[in-house]
Amino acid sequence: MKAEQKLCRAGIMHFFRNRLVVLGLVLLATVLLYLLLPAIRQGSMEPFLNVQRMGLTGGSPAALTTSRFPKPVNITIRTGQLAGDPPLFFRETISVDAAGKMMQPRLQVVLLHGQAFTSKTWEDLGTLTLLASHGYQALALDLPDSESMKTDQNRTNLLLRFLDSLGVQAPVLISPSMSGRFSLPLLMLHSSRLRGFVAVAPVGTKLYSEQQYHSIQTPTLIVFGALDGSLGTQSLKNLSQLPHHTVVRIDGAKHACYMDKPREFHQALLIFLSELNRETLSHHGRKKEILSEEKK
Ligand SMILES: *[C@@H]1O[C@H](CO)[C@@H](O)[C@H](O)[C@H]1NC(C)=O
Ligand SMILES: *[C@@H]1O[C@H](CO)[C@@H](O)[C@H](O)[C@H]1NC(C)=O
Ligand SMILES: *[C@@H]1O[C@H](CO)[C@@H](O)[C@H](O)[C@H]1NC(C)=O
């Protein structure tokens, strides 16, 4: 009886210690970011609270917790600008391990954004830090709203310039809404350049034929809000013709489903990336459908 109580107490202590370690790391990262990067001072503390919440709530799927990778002890978000026409502003995560060395990412993830948003959206939502904490490098680009970006070729070139300038070889590209104008031409013309594609109800899916979709081998996550009646439904119908796709519908979320339900969005994203990473490691084995829970 007494021994049992002791065991139980030890269990509880262990539980709280784990939680405390996570909390401590999150707080440390928050303080460091706040002190070290004047550029993000105007930003609210919210992004880190989000990550904290995610870190503290249990129930993450086995796929996320069983994968082994060294944890970064220091994650910073650096901003930069590439010269050129037009100049490109971006944010990227820098992860440092316990030995103080910059870490090699498992995969690089490039995040585009919708019409009303910027790369800051992903920082505020906690997505950049979250990705980095799982061993990925996140790079978020501000898309220019310029007159010179009229053609598919212009927009494709812009993304290629971004990837080439930063030495990003085979990223996973996340593309919500308006950014489909940039991402879909790249997918169609240079699909071998993309390790994965995450379509969040992008515009412009109607512009491509069944044959074009069938020819793309890039593993794709189609994620959309259940309340996104127009673009969500339409892009799903078109993108479902991609041979290697997985569908995640987020209940109770509208068009910007990542804003409405960040936890669900992040979880779907992490599962997709973790599967991609496993495939990459098992030397280009047969691509398999991921997430069996496909919904119609
Ligand atoms: C965290 O990283 C930043 C920037 O890379 C560096 O200036 C800082 O010294 C690091 N802090 C720790 C505790 O490693
Ligand atoms: C956009 O494409 C047009 C036609 O190909 C070209 O003349 C123009 O220089 C391009 N603009 C940029 C910014 O690449
Ligand atoms: C794309 O979706 C639209 C609207 O649902 C549909 O009219 C069109 O035929 C679809 N195109 C392809 C190639 O599936």
Ligand 3 contact, 4 CB (< 6 A): no
Query: What stretch of H or E contains 11?
Result: helix 2-36
- What the block records as the tokens of 200 is 């969040």
CA pair distance 128, 131, nearest whole angstrom: 5
Question: What long-range pairs does 114-123 form, CB within 8 A, spacing at least 24?
Answer: 114/176, 114/177, 114/178, 114/179, 114/256, 115/177, 115/178, 117/176, 117/256, 118/142, 119/89, 119/90, 119/91, 120/43, 120/91, 121/259, 122/91, 123/40, 123/43, 123/47, 123/77, 123/91
CB atoms within 10 A of CB 107: 19
Ligand 1 contact, 94 CB (< 6 A): yes
Residues carrying an active site annotation: 177, 228, 255
User: How many Å lie between the centroid of ligand 2 and the Cα of residue 157?
Assistant: 9
User: How many Å lie between the centroid of ligand 3 and the Cα of residue 242?
Assistant: 13
pLDDT given for residue 57 in this prediction? 35
| Burial of 160 per CB tally in 10 Å (0-12, 13-18, 19+) | middle
Pocket test for ligand 2, best of 151, 160, 181 (most atoms within 8 A of CB): 151
pLDDT given for residue 256 in this prediction? 97
3-class SS of residue 6: helix
Strand partners, 110: 139, 173
Sign of CA dihedral 145, 149, 151, 155: negative
Ligand 3 contact, 214 CB (< 6 A): no
Ligand 2 contact, 293 CB (< 6 A): no
Query: Which ligand 3 atom is the nearest neighbour of the CA of 233?
Result: 5
For residues 186 and 173, the answer to whether their CB atoms sit within 8 Å is yes
Query: Which ligand 2 atom is the nearest neighbour of the CA of 150?
Result: 1
Ligand 3 contact, 263 CB (< 6 A): no
Q: For residue 146, which ligand has an atom nearest its CA?
A: 2
Ligand 2 contact, 148 CB (< 6 A): yes
CA pair distance 282, 138, nearest whole angstrom: 23
For residues 47 and 129, the answer to whether their CB atoms sit within 8 Å is yes
**Residue with CA nearest ligand 3 atom 7:** 206
pLDDT by residue for the chain (296 residues), tens only, comes to 444 555 445 555 565 566 666 666 666 665 444 544 443 333 333 233 333 333 333 334 444 544 567 889 999 999 999 999 899 999 999 999 999 999 999 999 999 999 999 999 999 999 999 999 999 999 999 999 877 799 999 999 999 999 999 999 999 999 999 999 999 999 999 999 999 999 999 999 999 999 999 999 999 999 999 999 999 999 999 999 999 999 999 999 999 999 999 999 999 999 999 999 888 776 443 333 333 333 33
**Residue with CA nearest ligand 3 atom 4:** 234
CA pair distance 54, 75, nearest whole angstrom: 16
Strand partners, 275: none
